[in-house]
Amino acid sequence: MSRATDVDLLARLTVRVREETGFDLTGYRTDGLVRRARQRAALVGAEGLQEYLPSVDAHEAQALLEHVLTQVSGWFRDAHVWTSLRETVLPGIARRRGGPVHLRVWVAGCGEGQEVWSLAACLDEAVRAGHLTSWRLLATDVDAGVLATLERGLYPVVEVAAPGEELLLGHLGRVGDAWEVGPSLSAHVRTAVHDVRDAPPPGLGGPADLVLCRNVIMYLDAGVQVGVLDGLVASMRPGGVLVLGHAEIPLDHRDVLVPVDLSARAYRAIGTPLPSSAPAPGSSAPC
């Protein structure tokens, strides 16, 4: 089947998804959506999007949406990023702020949460090292299902490469054949359903000092990426750090984002932040 035909069928599928779920996939990259839609079609035994489309009822529209939005998450994925956070980013934020500080952190597009807890373990280490006094983290995703997994804090036991083992395992308990995230980390983390195309998220409560939005904007059209980056920058205090995914380079924001560590895709914000006096929609208490 031609690409043009697939694009037409995808347009009809996205309308069906919007009608049945209320979620608008406009702005997501067409090639990625076609690939994910074909994968879902194959999973239910359809030979292609033409055959799949008639079967997309309310239940299947939700299943397709969840398949499209699923993000890969893992413990300390890309080890050099976590080394940079521990050795450069977090000490640097504290130093620029005049040393030990409370940190407000946002993880956007958090998936099932392994990266949230990886970051939380780094933040705990930074407190013990004297770089931070305390921290609060808001984890957001458009998918309430993955947030429920994060909130439960239960994960299969897997091998964790350095530095994860030394940082993380002291915060995990065993529940049968699973790990359970302990209160030393979970007490500092809140969640909210939020679309990264909208900023700031509910509950952020003011400018963020650190934002992780890794491997999220790469799935969006170029024009939408610009708007998302605008929102991320506007949600940060000057001097705050934004960490993106390996394939995400904010070329259109070189005037407001300066590199801290290019290999880790860490950038310091020098733009205008969200006023701290302006509460985020739906926020309950500041971080």
Q: How many C-beta neighbours within 10 Å does residue 108 have? A: 25
177 is a domain residue = yes
pTM here? Answer: 0.87
CA distances from 208 to 115, 186, 217, 244 (A): 18, 19, 19, 15
Q: Which of 34, 69, 104 is the last residue of a domain?
A: 69
DSSP code at position 53: G
> What is the rounded distance in angstroms from the CA atom of residue 202 to the CA atom of residue 75?
26
Tens digits of per-residue pLDDT, 43-101? 999 989 999 999 999 999 999 998 888 777 789 999 999 999 999 999 999 999 888 99
Do residue 146 and residue 45 come from a single domain? no
The whole-number pLDDT of residue 95 equals 92
285 is a domain residue = no
278 is a domain residue = no
**3-state SS class at 233:** helix
Share the mean pLDDT of the chain: 89
Q: Which of 38, 69, 100 is the last residue of a domain?
A: 69
Residue 200: asked if its preceding bond is cis (omega within 30°), the reply is yes
Do residue 93 and residue 62 come from a single domain? no
Cβ 263 vs Cβ 243: under 8 Å: no
**Residues forming a β-bridge with 174:** 179
Do residue 62 and residue 128 come from a single domain? no
More confident residue, 5 or 135: 135
Cβ 276 vs Cβ 207: under 8 Å: yes
DSSP code at position 252: G
The whole-number pLDDT of residue 279 equals 36
Backbone angles phi, psi at 267, to 5 degrees: -130, 140
Number of domains in the chain: 2
Q: Which of 69, 94, 114 is the last residue of a domain?
A: 69
The whole-number pLDDT of residue 74 equals 86
Q: For residue 271, is pLDDT > 70? A: no
283 is a domain residue = no
36 is a domain residue = yes
Do residue 28 and residue 94 come from a single domain? no
For 265, the domain range is 79-269
Question: Looking at residue 171, which CATH number applies to its domain?
Answer: 3.40.50.150
85 is a domain residue = yes
275 is a domain residue = no
The whole-number pLDDT of residue 287 equals 34
pLDDT above 70 coverage of the chain, percent: 92
Q: How many C-beta neighbours within 10 Å does residue 258 have? A: 11
**C-alpha radius of gyration, the chain, whole number:** 20
Do residue 203 and residue 140 come from a single domain? yes
Angle between helices 30-43 and 3-21 (to 10 degrees): 80
Lowest mean pLDDT among 26-30, 47-51, 124-128, 250-254: 250-254
